[in-house]
Amino acid sequence: MEKLYVDGGTRLSGKIRISGSKNSSLPILAATLLTDSECILRNVPDLSDTNYMVQILSTLGAEVERASGNVIVKANKVAAEAPYDLVRKMRASVCVLGPMLARNGEALVSLPGGCVIGDRPIDLHLRGLEALGAEVEVKGGDIKVTARSGLRGANINMSGQYGSTVLGTDNVMMAAVFAVGETIIEGAAAEPEVEDLAKFLNSLGAKIEGAGTSRIVIHGVEDLSGGEHVVIPDRIEAGTFCIASTLAKGNLEIKNVNPKVIRAELALLKKFGAKIKTENNKILIKGPDKIRPIRNIKTREWPGVATDMQSQLMVLMCKANGKSTITENIFENRFLHVGELQRLGANIQIEKNKAIIEGNTKFVGAELMSSDLRASVALVLAAIVSHGKSIINRIYHLDRGYEDLESKLRNIGVKIRRVK
């Protein structure tokens, strides 16, 4: 199994180009199943998750070509069943459910797999599809949905116990594209990735209004054409490198990024002491000599502080000059990285969904185990500012969401190598 070896103690300096968004690419790839015409997607990151989705599309019958960040899909025919062997590898694979149902009037998809970071039930997805007129049956680890009389517009509320659901909003929005009449989604996820999916669908001929807000209106159409779309930059990758620069006294120029979509995180980093200048598609960020502590940080739905930044921010808090706290409001089991940070020397206490970080940690390199995608990159950040060498295991988690991470880190001064 592959490992990362990281030598700590490096200041970061240089330029980073942010890749296309993983969380935008996956539902957009699934949406190509809605048309039998050719779709050209650009700026798609080369990740294990996007590769799995390409394999799912191919298995369902689509013709798929991939080269140099571009993916070309032509789905003349779409099978009614998504294979368990691929779907089990990532949770986002469930977003083929809506397009398959809309295209065929039926779909059979295995319950998805992915990171073990909490209970993320898909009941909201299914509730939304039922509101559109689908019959839903969950049996033996499979989800079967049918719409023998077609889908019809409805008023749907996608709010749940932990707020709105991004993939649930995506799934229902894609299914509603072919529903007769008007569909209104209240409590919709407002993330930039949802807005990007809607822009792609509208470019194919869909009629969607309000994406990027909590209320989305879809006017059903009979069919969609082909089209071309450029995937937005990955805001979580951008935020991760901004945190890295703040953490390691860096001086980075981060390109191909929309600063507005991480404004909550940038505001926080300024409070930690970072000096930040933003331009249209660029962030210049310089880390402080001393990191200031911050209390009462809370993860929230966009445009709040992203849960996908929580573990990286915790590493920053470990190096702050005093006590900090962060509360996880999205997932109930997203502190699995804490034990590994403690192995490096961190002083962290957990009280339910709140972490109390004492700060002034002197990290000492150790052998570490990744538990999920964002936790794994947090361990890399911690290793960068540790004394000595760290070894990070189970780095297949990293390959799910960070394109060419080692090369990007080496280019800004990190001593890092992958060993098989």
> What is the number of residues in the chain?
420
- Catalytic site residue 242? no
Closest CA to 56 of 122, 126, 107, 121: 107
For residue 274, give the 3-state DSSP assignment. Answer: coil
Question: What's the CA gap between 188 and 127, in Å, rounded?
Answer: 13
User: Contact at 8 Å (CB) between 83 and 108?
Assistant: no
The pairing of strands 251-255 and 13-17 is parallel
- Per annotation, catalytic residue among 95, 115, 242, 318: 115
Helix axes 166-176, 97-104, angle to 10 degrees: 10
The pairing of strands 3-7 and 389-393 is antiparallel
Cβ-based neighbours of 217, under 8 Å, separated by 6 or more: 182, 183, 184, 185, 208, 209, 210
Question: What's the CA gap between 268 and 270, in Å, rounded?
Answer: 5
The CA-atom distances, in angstroms, between 306 and each of 130, 297, 298, 348 are: 30, 11, 9, 20
Which residues are marked as active site?
115
